[in-house]
């Protein structure tokens, strides 16, 4: 087994902000914003409290940077949706499948959702920006696909608010897992969940359901 390459001082310094953000995420998840101490974040990284403040001036700025850092997958998801091809049905189910994986199945995104809900009142501007930058574009993409399907007669006429109903099962599953973990709500089998989800959805959308 090859020996692991030792990082140079410059490489270690370049990685330090990410290490701090990763540690901050775990502490904020464990203790919430008010209960998290910067020294505990520093201990996770193996640095001093002062080192954390070199990169992030306050705990508030650290929290904001952490939320933005762990929201990047939503940007990547949006990028993937732009390259999808096929019928409107194919593209819509592909997007929803990716969204389910990213939101309901990914532990980091689930815990990020918990933090957004729990600390939103403390950081309303941050949460609004998070929604505008990462969530709204995905919902807008779902809206656009539904309208495209209606225009092409692939879908029947549906209310404008239908996209909220479309994503609701994913959000419900996510919230239930946040509340109960797997104590009372068994973790759904991904393939079975998506198969049932798409079957119900398409029977409500398709002009001529299969």
**Each residue of 41-71: pLDDT tens digit?**
999 999 999 999 999 999 999 999 999 998 8
**Each residue of 23-38: pLDDT tens digit?**
999 999 999 999 999 9
pLDDT greater than 70 at residue 78: yes
CA pair distance 156, 173, nearest whole angstrom: 27
**In the CATH scheme, what is the code of domain 68-203?**
1.10.357.10
pLDDT of residue 41: 97
pTM over 0.85: no
CA pair distance 105, 87, nearest whole angstrom: 26
pLDDT greater than 50 at residue 106: yes
pLDDT of residue 1: 43
What's phi and psi for 159, nearest 5 deg? -60, 155
CA pair distance 4, 11, nearest whole angstrom: 14
CA pair distance 177, 173, nearest whole angstrom: 6
Q: Do domains 9-57 and 68-203 have the same CATH topology?
A: no
For the chain, give the longest Cα–Cα distance: 64
Number of H helices, E strands in the chain: 11, 0
pLDDT greater than 60 at residue 210: no
Q: Which fold has domain 9-57?
A: Arc Repressor Mutant, subunit A (1.10.10)
Instruction: Provide the 10 A C-beta neighbour count for residue 187.
Output: 12
Q: What is the average per-residue pLDDT within 141-148?
A: 92
- Locate the domains of the chain by residue range: 9-57, 68-203
């Amino acid at each position: 087994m090859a020996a692991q390459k030792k990082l140079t001082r410059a490489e270690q310094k370049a990685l330090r902000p990410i290490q701090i953000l990763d540690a901050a995420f775990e502490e904020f998840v464990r203790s919430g914003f008010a209960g998290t101490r910067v020294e505990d974040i520093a201990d996770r990284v193996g640095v001093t409290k002062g080192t954390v403040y070199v990169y992030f001036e306050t705990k508030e700025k650290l929290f904001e940077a952490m939320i933005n850092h762990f929201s990047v997958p939503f940007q990547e998801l949006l990028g993937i949706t732009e390259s999808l091809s096929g019928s409107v049905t194919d593209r819509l189910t592909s997007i929803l499948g990716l969204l389910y994986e990213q939101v309901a199945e990914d532990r980091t995104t689930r815990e990020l959702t918990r933090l957004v809900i729990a600390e939103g009142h403390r950081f309303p501007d941050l949460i609004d920006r998070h929604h505008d930058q990462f969530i709204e574009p995905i919902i807008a993409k779902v809206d656009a696909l539904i309208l495209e399907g209606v225009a092409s007669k692939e879908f029947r006429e549906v209310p404008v608010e239908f996209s909220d109903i479309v994503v609701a099962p994913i959000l419900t599953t996510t919230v239930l897992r946040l509340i109960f973990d797997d104590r009372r709500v068994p973790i759904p089998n991904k393939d079975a969940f998506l198969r049932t989800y798409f079957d119900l959805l398409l029977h409500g959308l398709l002009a001529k359901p299969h």
